[in-house]
Structure 1
Amino acid sequence: MNPSSDLVNRLWRECAVLRKDGVTYMQYVTELTYLLFLKMCSEQKDESRIPESYRWEAIRTAGETEVLTRYKQLLIDLGDGTKIADRSIVAIFNNASTVIRTPANLRKLIAAIDDLHWFTAERDAFGDAYEGLLQKMAEETKRGAGQYFTPRVLINMIVGLMKPRAGEIIQDPAAGTGGFLIAADQYMRDQTDDYHDLLDSPRKITFQLKQAIRGLENVSDTFRLLLMNLHLHRIDPDYLDLNDTLSPTGQQAAFKNANLILTNPPFGPAGSPPTRDDLTVTDRVSSYQLPFVEHVIRALALGGRAAVIVPDNVLFDDGRGRLLRQMLMERCDLHTILRLPTGIFYAQGVKTNVLFFTRSQEEAPTEAATQAVWIYDLRTGAPAYGKTNPIGDKDFADFVQAFGDDPLGRSARTDQGETGRFRRFTREDLAARNDNLDITWLKAESADPDDGLTDPDDIAAAIETHLVFALEEVRGLVEELEREAPLAALEEVEA
């Protein structure tokens, strides 16, 4: 059996211990993060950074009456930067608290983890196991889960096409639990003999290990999972921040001039408008995804490339959405759009696409960088994907072949015509459509891919998702009307 799969299943079964106390899957995985970190330090013989009374053995052998009290104090103290010098430990335990109510339940969880002996397997196997727990959590919490967990098969496909190279700055401005950053790091390790090819240059190896990987995540609990996931995959970057990309933090030098940006920004209404002064096109929109796309455009170095997952409305929204698409095609070569099937994210009903684009080599291009856009429709006629029918590598094989080997989208390609899935549309074609990129040509047997859903939870999640996006569309329309009304009144007065 795959060691990581075995670990995932064994750890996940222990969730039943806490579910009876009303603990959510997210809370369970977060709780595991604290305990697994202590266990891992013990297995690695690397506990010098942790006070002796809070080390794994001390917690494991604590008496029934004191184990929960000591554990609660441990969570407080290890997150206190005045008591703990190691910043990674403080970040993982920052504002930590436990949802365990009884010493008996804590004892059961500690015993279950202690019995795993998971370090008899390779370290990477446990890193994969932790990521497997995050996937399990996403599967069990469909509503909104796709906002923080992108399926690994999709990530690996995108990373394989974008071909990250050692020495490049790789950024994810909506890092979630770190899937894109981990996959990019692994791809580069595979290309450089686990970075041994860089050992002849201390500067190169230092840059690769500490500065190449950069990310922002705005949700504190997700950031905690991100830190743990990266730590288990041997990634400890200097430029990883708990902050909002749409705040002034996203303008900092550390998050500019990226050679490659890979991201799945959050979908849905934002809590508040962006507070950055450089997002001039999307500064007052009501959704996250539009300003995130503008961030990517502005954060790319000249000649840099990106792959961004976006919902359908980014392709067709009028007003600021259309202005953003025009900006994108002026400054970047938007060479490929992949229309993804529904059901591959755990939030059912979300219709998404991958935008592949390359920043122009000129700061202010004299002509539009995009001359033509290739669109691959993997959605029409696709089976109903979901928990019982997950998408796999084979489902992306034809698209990967059609995309070609060039990460800039310049490989020789063939327009497959009205009966094929891959077609080319010139800039003139798009202008005639008012720059609406929501283009379909294949005929679907079903009017809606959601028609194939059978699981009641999947159906309910799909309905909820559609309502959220419909509300967002209404809000966007109201905002457009409110902006246009004063201008129309002013023009009438001037007339």
Structure 2
Amino acid sequence: MNPPASSHPEPDQDLAKVLWSFADVLREDGVSGIEYVEQLACLILLKVAHEHSHRPLNPVDVIGYDTWAEIRWTDRQNQLTRYEETLDHLANRPGNLGMLFRKAQNRISDPAKLSRLIDLVDSYRWSRTDSTGRGAVFEALLARLTADTKTGAGQFYTPRPLIEAIVQCVQPGVGDTIIDPACGTGGFLTKSFEYLVEHFPPGVTPAERARLTNGAFGGTELVDATARLATMNLVLHGLTRADAQPMITVGDALAQPPTRHATLVLTAPPFGRRSTIAGETYAYYRPDFWAETGNRQLNFLQHVHSLLQLNGRAAVVVPDNVLFEGGAGEHVRRRLLDACDVHTLLRLPPGVFYATGLKTNVLFFDKAAPRPDGRPSTKQLWVYDLRSHRPAPTKTTMLTSAEYDDFVSAYRPGRPRSERVESHVFRSFNVEDLLARDRTNFDLLAADLPDDPFAPAEPEADLHHMAQEITSELRSALEELTALTEALQLYGAHGDGPDRGSAT
């Protein structure tokens, strides 16, 4: 007989270590880290649904039958087949269930190992009321998955201490609509939800509380497998239920102008450029975009601007090339300064993300109404320098929450920016000076600035940076040349040229 759920221990951080050790066992059978976490997500969800349906008070059956009991108590010889049949059946369900099981496949071919994993999941009670334990365990598994460089999982995992610092700065409120258009495993959404729960203001109505799990959050993810992990993360954190409508949309967020808008956008878009077609970089043609480019980060910056409501605010993780790339990059930066209050730039040390030596930043801005005098909405850009005078990057640069505390304090969340105080790592730059810079680049460091804050660094100080700039220039030139070639071909296809006597 299945023992009552109350006799099972609640999940804790030690469980993450135990579960990940089983990943090492399955790796010998060719199961990758991400495939293992996917299987684990499916099993945990079935166990949570079982526990909810057997609660003594207010039981909830989100599936319609006890799938976990059927799998758990099927004899080992037939257990694998029963599990695979369950995956196929649930993939056709609507809502989060369909999201969680869509295209999910069993990767554990050894019946004995599958049975051991089922027993391990069954030995814990996952449906804690406050969801803290199970959410923390899943986050710990995602962190271990990211550290497994063979999987390439770091591309959809933003370090949680960085997310926590960003969330503390922007202070999500109960009236916010929070969207991440490149949500990965859902870190920005779960951390925003945790912040809201911890900072409930007095007088929150039942309708406002209900909205937190039905309308306040949304995300888009390109990859099915990652969307499953994100949805599982949201379910385990209590943002949504397995039988609710999905908060995560699977698809390309850049493909169309947004139909839903946000008061707060938090996102870390994928790095790199758009894939090429027949040797040419594919660019998005959207009427709401300021520039056509194959640079995904520039496209996401434009998308975030479109996604924001007036007076909405955003924090976007961008690599260094977004700060200084010419061509479309310069045009986007100028338009962003004009249309938004681009008020804060956090310079991160190399290696904070998964790629060795990759230099990243966080750009904070608010979407503002046009100023009556026609001047840019940005007045001052504050630059916080976490980069200068740090040791050379190794494989990764793991920053703890405490290492972001000084930035959060200098940011002064919820306070007027006029109260900010300059320091050796935190400086402000007037928008007029930014617009006068070559290519309107934001490549600024605050720490130990020379007398001229806009003086370029010595060439030998950052050879990697120089290589990035050269590469960026070549890419921009190639894009412009490609566009010119296409225009000439189109012009030639129409036969007649312009009046030779006209000015060009």
The 8 Å contact of residues 91 and 102 in structure 2, kept in 1 or not, is answered as: yes
In 2, Cα distance between equivalents of 1:428 and 1:345: 32
1:96 match: secondary structure: coil
The 8 Å contact of residues 165 and 405 in structure 2, kept in 1 or not, is answered as: no
Q: Does 1:277 align with 2:291?
A: no
In 2, Cα distance between equivalents of 1:365 and 1:179: 40
In 1, Cα distance between equivalents of 2:30 and 2:152: 20
2:16 match: secondary structure: helix
Aligned to 2:199: 191
Q: Does 1:378 align with 2:386?
A: yes
Residues 483 and 153 of structure 1: CA distance in aligned 2, closer, same or farther (over 3 Å): same
Q: 1:77 aligns with which of 89, 92, 98?
A: 89
Deviation of residue 325 (structure 1)?
0.2
In 1, Cα distance between equivalents of 2:219 and 2:469: 27
Per-residue deviation, residues 441-464 of structure 1 (Å, max 9, x unmatched): 6579994699xxxxxxxxxxxxxx
2:76 match: secondary structure: coil
Q: 1:42 aligns with which of 37, 50, 54?
A: 50
The 8 Å contact of residues 357 and 394 in structure 2, kept in 1 or not, is answered as: no
Residues matched between the structures, number: 463
Deviation of residue 118 (structure 1)?
4.9
In 2, Cα distance between equivalents of 1:164 and 1:267: 26
Deviation of residue 492 (structure 1)?
12
Q: 1:64 aligns with which of 57, 67, 76?
A: 76
In 2, Cα distance between equivalents of 1:366 and 1:108: 67
> Structure 2: which 5+ runs fail to align?
1-9, 55-59, 277-281, 449-456, 492-496
Aligned to 1:205: 209
Residues 487 and 432 of structure 1: CA distance in aligned 2, closer, same or farther (over 3 Å): farther
In 1, Cα distance between equivalents of 2:218 and 2:106: 29
1:44 match: secondary structure: helix
In 2, Cα distance between equivalents of 1:261 and 1:377: 23
Deviation of residue 282 (structure 1)?
3.4
Q: 1:328 aligns with which of 327, 336, 354?
A: 336
Residues 480 and 402 of structure 1: CA distance in aligned 2, closer, same or farther (over 3 Å): same
Listed as ranges, the matches of 1:66-465 within 5 Å are 66-81=78-93, 86-118=94-126, 123-141=131-149, 144-192=152-200, 197-199=203-205, 201-202=206-207, 204-236=208-240, 239-248=247-256, 250-252=257-259, 254=260, 256=261, 258-271=262-275, 273=282, 275=284, 277-283=286-292, 285-362=293-370, 366-383=374-391, 390-406=398-414, 410-416=417-423, 420-434=424-438, 435-440=440-445, 442=447, 447=461
Deviation of residue 405 (structure 1)?
2.7
Aligned to 1:458: none
One-letter amino acid matched to 1:223: A
Aligned to 1:459: none
In 1, Cα distance between equivalents of 2:381 and 2:371: 21
One-letter amino acid matched to 1:424: S
In 1, Cα distance between equivalents of 2:84 and 2:472: 41
In 1, Cα distance between equivalents of 2:372 and 2:258: 19
Per-residue deviation, residues 347-398 of structure 1 (Å, max 9, x unmatched): 2222100001111134998220012211111111124566786211221122
The 8 Å contact of residues 339 and 376 in structure 1, kept in 2 or not, is answered as: yes
In 1, Cα distance between equivalents of 2:401 and 2:215: 31
Aligned to 2:6: none
The 8 Å contact of residues 281 and 323 in structure 1, kept in 2 or not, is answered as: yes
Aligned to 1:477: 477
Aligned to 1:462: none
Deviation of residue 22 (structure 1)?
1.1
Per-residue deviation, residues 323-352 of structure 1 (Å, max 9, x unmatched): 000110000011111100112222222210
> Structure 1: which 5+ runs fail to align?
451-465
- The normalised TM-score by structure 2 is 0.83
- The normalised TM-score by structure 1 is 0.84
The 8 Å contact of residues 34 and 93 in structure 1, kept in 2 or not, is answered as: yes
2:89 match: secondary structure: helix
Per-residue deviation, residues 29-70 of structure 1 (Å, max 9, x unmatched): 011111111112122336734354x62122122122211111
One-letter amino acid matched to 2:409: Q
In 1, Cα distance between equivalents of 2:283 and 2:49: 40
In 2, Cα distance between equivalents of 1:350 and 1:20: 31
RMSD across aligned positions (CA): 3.3
Deviation of residue 143 (structure 1)?
7.1
1:216 match: secondary structure: strand
1:251 match: secondary structure: coil
In 1, Cα distance between equivalents of 2:390 and 2:340: 30
The 8 Å contact of residues 323 and 441 in structure 2, kept in 1 or not, is answered as: yes
In 1, Cα distance between equivalents of 2:291 and 2:374: 23
2:36 match: secondary structure: helix
